[in-house]
Amino acid sequence: MPTSIAQFWDDAIVPSLVEYIKIPAKSPHFDKAWASNGHIDAAVELAANWCRKHAVAGMKLEVVRLPGRTPVLFLEIPSNSASEKNVLMYGHLDKQPEMVGWRDGTGPWTPVLADGKLYGRGGADDGYAVFACLAAIKALQEEKRPHGPISILIECCEESGSGDLPAYFEVLAKRIQNPELVIGLDSGCGNYDQLWSTTSLRGLVNGVLTVEVLTEGVHSGDASGVVSSSFRIARMLLERIDAADTGIVKHSAFHAQIPPERAAQAKRAAEVLGEEIWRKFPFTPGGQPMQADLADLVLNRTWRPFLAVTGADGLPAPANAGNVLRPATRLVLSLRLPPTVKAESAAKQLKAILETDPPYGARVTFESGHAGSGWHAPQSKEWLSKALDAASMAHFGKPAMYMGEGGTIPFMGMLGAQYPQAQFLITGVLGPHSNAHGPNEFLHIGYAKRLTACVADVLAAHAGK
Ligand SMILES: [Zn+2]
């Protein structure tokens, strides 16, 4: 790795990320008053000021603001070479909410540096991205290596489903032009030992399932056996979606054919990662994964649908629970979808399956929330595969790896549809235990440095091809 990148990370990036972590820039979905609270603006201001301070040659910076929408930090860097092939780089500055379970002395807005990791909310997901983008370009310019014309788009609505992005995309389309290469730095890595390229993302449908059986709660001794529990009805409805004993989603509309190339890559990833595939999760003692076969686990979290209940209402906390047959149960459902399943139609299907023929005449509604389609990378061109391998060998001493990710980045779906010709490097620092969205999120600084060096190499390879 060029020492300049590592040094720049230590001198200029880490101190700024420390400040960024202190800002509770929660995504609009988790901070409805984000505009008056001003935290998102503070995060954008911090990043924009940093970029101005460390501006690269010819850089133009604009904080674009459409009325009623979260801002976008937009940078344009002209080519420093003969290459006129456009590149688009992407990241975001909005954050997930706090979550509980942070270790003593740490917290979401309390940056802590320990063991080469920077703990705190948003450092890895995805605050580091804008800094890494500029660091890579700066290194190329200093080393007199080529890069093409680059747009860097940093949004502030990603953790809310990127709802503001299409509008910005329309406004900025002429300036972004037709990118031949898209580099997204909001994804994961299977380990911290090599470069990982994300080949797919899952889609997501969520919403609130409400089961109402009574207009008010009644004595459960009086009513149970006559009035069915709204919770049991919710169980029956969930059983329509997935089998409780296996977790397998039943309806074919939520499944997709797994491309053979991706199945083969999953097998290779399983060989490289071994049991770390499941051991990276904080299982309670004795906990086991859903399946024994490691390649199947990779495919489960990348190409197969699975359901999670992520929230509930209508249930009192244990200390306040009397013997009451409650009037209603509300569950937040989160159904992950294979990369190629259209989320809008899946949401309609899900609603129909849940609401049809309600047991015992209960009042059942499913209010769809967010529906975001996944993304499947186009076939990599030879120059890109070679560039990824060369970069990974140069900075990690190991070849590049390819794997799907389980999460959803709606922007990638949008971009994939917009630019079917583009090549994609979707990567990131969300490796084992980095725990984005959970407590104790950390940024692996050593990995981020090497990744930045890899990104620089890929930019140079693209410009020089
Ligand atoms: Zn993210």
Q: Residue 183 Cα, ligand 1 centroid: separation in angstroms? A: 14
**pLDDT of the residue at 57:** 97
Stretch 216-240: mean pLDDT, rounded? 98
Q: How many whole angstroms separate alpha carbon 130 and alpha carbon 155?
A: 10
Q: Residue 394 Cα, ligand 1 centroid: separation in angstroms? A: 27
Q: Residue 190 Cα, ligand 1 centroid: separation in angstroms? A: 16
Stretch 227-249: mean pLDDT, rounded? 98
Q: Residue 131 Cα, ligand 1 centroid: separation in angstroms? A: 15
Q: Which 3 state secondary structure label does DSSP give 42? A: helix
**High-pLDDT (> 90) share of the chain, %:** 93
Q: Residue 311 Cα, ligand 1 centroid: separation in angstroms? A: 21
Q: Residue 374 Cα, ligand 1 centroid: separation in angstroms? A: 14
Q: Residue 132 Cα, ligand 1 centroid: separation in angstroms? A: 15
What number of H helices and E strands is found in the chain? 15, 18
Cβ proximity of 59 and 77 under 8 Å: yes
Q: Is pLDDT larger for residue 240 or for residue 407?
A: 240
Q: Residue 226 Cα, ligand 1 centroid: separation in angstroms? A: 48
Q: Residue 92 Cα, ligand 1 centroid: separation in angstroms? A: 7
Q: Residue 279 Cα, ligand 1 centroid: separation in angstroms? A: 22
Q: Residue 365 Cα, ligand 1 centroid: separation in angstroms? A: 30
Q: Residue 123 Cα, ligand 1 centroid: separation in angstroms? A: 10
Q: Residue 51 Cα, ligand 1 centroid: separation in angstroms? A: 20
Helical spans, DSSP H, in 304-437: 343-355, 382-396, 410-418
Q: Residue 432 Cα, ligand 1 centroid: separation in angstroms? A: 15
Q: What is the pLDDT of residues 261-290, one digit of tens each?
A: 999 999 999 999 999 999 989 999 999 999
**pLDDT of the residue at 2:** 60
Q: Residue 412 Cα, ligand 1 centroid: separation in angstroms? A: 12
User: Would you say residue 241 has pLDDT above 90?
Assistant: yes
**High-pLDDT (> 70) share of the chain, %:** 99
User: Would you say residue 15 has pLDDT above 80?
Assistant: yes
Q: Residue 122 Cα, ligand 1 centroid: separation in angstroms? A: 8
Q: Residue 97 Cα, ligand 1 centroid: separation in angstroms? A: 12
Q: Residue 348 Cα, ligand 1 centroid: separation in angstroms? A: 26
**pLDDT of the residue at 415:** 83
**pLDDT of the residue at 409:** 81
Q: Residue 170 Cα, ligand 1 centroid: separation in angstroms? A: 22
Q: How many whole angstroms separate alpha carbon 129 and alpha carbon 17?
A: 10
**412 Cβ partners below 8 Å, 6+ apart?**
184, 201, 375, 424, 426
**pTM value?**
0.86
What is the rounded average pLDDT for all residues in the chain? 96
Q: Residue 49 Cα, ligand 1 centroid: separation in angstroms? A: 22
- Secondary structure E strands in 256-323: 306-313
Q: Residue 319 Cα, ligand 1 centroid: separation in angstroms? A: 36
Q: Residue 28 Cα, ligand 1 centroid: separation in angstroms? A: 14
User: Would you say residue 3 has pLDDT above 80?
Assistant: no
Cβ proximity of 220 and 321 under 8 Å: no
Q: How far is CA 394 from CA 108, 140, 423, in A?
A: 34, 15, 22
**pLDDT of the residue at 464:** 95
Stretch 62-78: mean pLDDT, rounded? 98
Q: Residue 158 Cα, ligand 1 centroid: separation in angstroms? A: 6
Q: Residue 126 Cα, ligand 1 centroid: separation in angstroms? A: 5
**pLDDT of the residue at 1:** 56
Q: Residue 29 Cα, ligand 1 centroid: separation in angstroms? A: 14
**pLDDT of the residue at 407:** 87
Q: What is the pLDDT of residues 282-336, one digit of tens each?
A: 999 999 999 999 999 999 999 999 999 999 999 999 999 999 999 999 999 999 9
Q: How many whole angstroms separate alpha carbon 302 and alpha carbon 202?
A: 6
Kindly report which listed range (107-111, 147-151, 153-157, 417-421) carries the lowest average pLDDT score: 417-421
Q: Residue 314 Cα, ligand 1 centroid: separation in angstroms? A: 31
Q: Is pLDDT larger for residue 412 or for residue 16?
A: 16
Q: How many whole angstroms separate alpha carbon 454 and alpha carbon 126?
A: 18
